[in-house]
Amino acid sequence: MSDESLSPDDEQALRGMKRDRLPPSRIENAVVDALVHDGLLVRRARGIGSWRLGMSLAACLAIAITAWLVIGKKNAPTAASGPRFVLLLYAGEDAAREGPGRRQEYAAWARGVAMRGTAISGEELADDESDRNGPRGFFVVSAADADAARAIAATCPHVRYGGRIVVRRIVSGS
């Protein structure tokens, strides 16, 4: 709609409407000063230099986000497709629990498996006083077949600590 298409009454009504006004500069400056004083706003130099810096930072951010999305998609764990296997981790005679350090090592191993494109998840199980020989934890992996799942299990740090890993295929059901 342009001003030329308005009726004389509409033009009069438009002219009579309240218009927003900018606050006086002294009020704006006082608000900005208060925000700066409270640490909620940081004054920046104005001008072409800061504009170029802002645009450069925005461009870098856009490139970084794009790269992250592209690279992240390539290295993201694949969704569980095909057969899934549970890797049951049993303690050996030398495989006493060692707490957070061991958990971090296992988590790093699982992240490495995931970065190679294998869907993996896992959990540590609570101690069961009635069954000292029960599993200590498990991982669930997607693998083409049992041999591929056993190959993944062979790289788990649990084996280095004298632990034993039992690989079982998960029966898909609904």
pTM recorded for the entire structure? 0.52
Q: Does residue 156 form part of some domain?
A: yes
Do residue 94 and residue 37 come from a single domain? no
Calculate the CA dihedral of residues 29, 35, 40, 45 and round it to 10 degrees: 30
pLDDT (tens digit per residue) in 35-87: 777 777 676 655 555 556 666 666 666 676 666 666 655 544 445 567 999 99
Same domain, 99 and 135: yes
63 and 119, same domain (yes or no): no
Shared domain for 31 and 92, answered yes or no, is no
Is residue 98's pLDDT more than 90? no
The reply to whether 71 and 89 lie within a common domain is no
CATH number at residue 148: 3.30.70.1060
Range of the structural domain that residue 70 is part of? 25-75
